[in-house]
Structure 1
């Protein structure tokens, strides 16, 4: 169905204060569907650690580190977090990374991200973390691991949200970052208990995927799953490279896959899920408008689609809102949204018992909702 561009879609959307969903609901979205999404148990597979920092946390961190160019005034963040293109987004993103300077900063951020996920009934999340960005700024690597693990355990105990980690290589930092990230991910003396996967993020243009093959080979040999970003701001050849050279089990974004029917058929046949982040793609101008987003083509081709929020406060969204966007683009009712939620659970790296538990929660919730 055709929709006008929603108010959150333009590139350049400000941070929003909690609770997120109250501010993000499209006024044209059916109220009942919005309420259903708010209570739906969900899994999130593509969400970034620093990119999930809430306005309150960013302001607090900026006040702790006044030499940063990030404004401590929440009101000024609206202008600061206005992105002209993907390269500018990366520049701004790295300025927020620079606010994470101590293990206490790491622990605070991680715990508060879990709190925001729990508010949205996210029962399981694979949080993408870039340890190189912190260790190169002087945070002791062991203290970093202890901070994220302490926050993970506290969040599960207090909120019931299960967190797992994806360590990703910041592609713009090159092979030095690849070597360091791989070492941190595969050294049994450092590797955190919650680590399940290995990724590659950052800019794609000028950062060819094949050069990272030796590092992914080492991570896979150590038992980690391969989940690189690919095809977000480059063509489908980048997705093919991620599949061929990095042995990707899921693809982060994969937006340009729609331009290659052979690639879509391959993804569908081999059940390789795409981690789709609609609002992010608009905010970074990877896609011009929501009406042009290829999620419909993915579904029509039989590709497994999961919906995710990427860097939610930076893009003025959250996972609830991304489900509402998917409902509009795919014309989904409650049953369709429940199936979308189950896609994410099935595509996750949670153990079989955990998958069964959350799938059961989704089915029970949906049945009770429809019975009303």
Structure 2
């Protein structure tokens, strides 16, 4: 099995329907769905907002430090089975504090599981604090301060949620603060929004990686810029199909991205909602595009290169991928 880094993964998006009901019973949360099958049957989305409505509603069952640790550990166990050796995962802290769950509860639970990831699952891990771009930048700044105050180690910061109508530029000062604190920077762009959305996060937020970025392909100048500077794109094929960013998998630009020399890698985004973890995504694109073993190895190498691992650790992992 090839080693992969997973770099675009929302922990809240790994909340499987069965766990939703288990945690609801544990925490005495009333749910509007009959059972896990009823909930899963509602995972059909006309747009990003349809998904987000369910995504945020299901979070209501996450209440305690143990809940967050269990959620994170379950993802890590599944990721290890998929060949993931490095996971740089997102946590939407604002979505939890807004419903009354304190930052130390959320982040301590996540950090507990991440701290045991290598020993328990053979997966090295880092935590990226994601800001919700549909909320004011001032709210994100408060969330960042709360996260720093917990003392939990952060790998980086990110920006997620709806692109359309919610520009990234207002978050520039917060990103500058995070860089000054020694953190890495990423941001969602080019999923809903066009190439201008990608340019914006590159120019205003100075991100090191672009999450999604599939609409960059319509701008040749942007493609050249990304290729020349080796700026990675964390692509999520099954997510893109389920959220109708592309009509069907065969229309996905992943092959064109690889042909253009982009550092594109495959990730699962919110696998409980989109029908597949990393191995499912790799299998789907391999089948859809007839990828050769060399091309799949390129995806593995790209994922490791795009990670925020120290150079020596990258080289160690890259040496295990067939040339």
TM-score tier by shorter-chain length is over 0.9
**SS in structure 2 at match of 1:147:** helix
Which residue of structure 2 lines up, in the alignment, with residue 316 of structure 1?
A: 275
- Secondary structure of the corresponding residue to residue 231 of structure 2: coil
Q: What is the correspondence of 1:128-147 to structure 2 with a 5 Å cutoff?
A: 128-147=90-109
Structure-1 separation of matches of 2:83 and 2:205: 32
Map 1:354-365 onto structure 2 (within 5 A): 354-363=313-322
In the other structure, the counterpart of 2:265 is 306
Indicate whether 1:327 and 2:286 are aligned: yes
Superposed CA RMSD in Å reads 1.8
Taking the TM superposition and a 5 Å limit, the aligned residue runs for 1:58-77 are: 58-69=20-31, 71=33, 73-77=35-39
TM-score, L = length of structure 2: 0.94
Query: Does residue 250 in structure 1 map to residue 212 in structure 2?
Result: no
* Paired residues of 1:50 and 1:97 also in contact (CA < 8 A): yes
Match of 1:125 in 2: 87
**What 5-or-longer segments of structure 2 have no aligned partner?**
none
Range 325-334 or range 98-107, more displaced? 325-334
Sort the Cα spacing of 1:72 and 1:130 in 2 relative to 1 into closer, same or farther, 3 A.
farther
Q: Deviation digits for residues 103-144 of structure 1, max 9, x if unmatched?
A: 221111111111111121211100111112222222232233
CA contact under 8 A between 1:70 and 1:96: conserved in structure 2? Answer: no
Question: How many Å apart are 1:215 and its aligned residue?
Answer: 1.0
Matches within 5 A, 1:138-157: 138-157=100-119
- 1:70–1:241 CA distance, 2 compared to 1 (3 A): farther
Within the candidate set 60, 67, 82, 1:98 is matched to 60
1:115 is the counterpart of 2:64? no
Q: 177, 183, 186: which one pairs with 1:227? A: 186
Provide the rounded CA distance (Å) in 1 between the counterparts of 2:302 and 2:151.
28
Counterparts of 1:58 and 1:163 in 2: how far apart (Å)?
24
Partner of 2:167: 208
Partner of 2:152: 192
Structure 1 SS opposite 2:281? helix
Q: Structure 2 vs 1, CA of residues 72 and 158 (structure 1 numbering), >3 Å: closer, same or farther?
A: farther
Aligned to 2:223: 264
CA contact (8 A) 2:29 2:60 kept: no
Instruction: Confirm or deny: 8 A CA contact 1:167 1:181 kept in the other structure.
Output: no
CA 307–287 in structure 1, closer or farther in 2 if over 3 Å, else same: same
Structure 1 unaligned runs (5+)?
1-38, 367-372
User: In structure 2, do the counterparts of structure 1 residues 165 and 70 end up closer, same or farther at CA, with 3 Å as the change threshold?
Assistant: farther
Q: Assess if the C-alpha contact under 8 Å between 1:226 and 1:249 holds in 2.
A: yes
Change (3 A) 1:162 1:72: farther
1:39-58 map, 5 Å:
39-58=1-20
Count of matched residue positions in the alignment of Structure 1 and Structure 2: 323
Q: Residues 70 and 84 from structure 1, CA distance in 2 versus in 1: closer, same or farther, beyond 3 angstroms?
A: farther
Q: 1:68 and 1:360, CA in 2 relative to 1: closer, same or farther beyond 3 A?
A: farther
Given that residues 70 and 80 in structure 1 are in contact (C-alpha distance below 8 angstroms), is that contact kept between their aligned partners in structure 2? no
Kindly indicate whether the alpha-carbon contact (under 8 Å) linking 1:41 and 1:122 is maintained by their aligned counterparts in 2: yes
- 1:172 partnered with 2:127: no
Q: Deviations over 1:32-87 (max 9, x none)?
A: xxxxxxx2221101011110123332221233345444536221122222222111
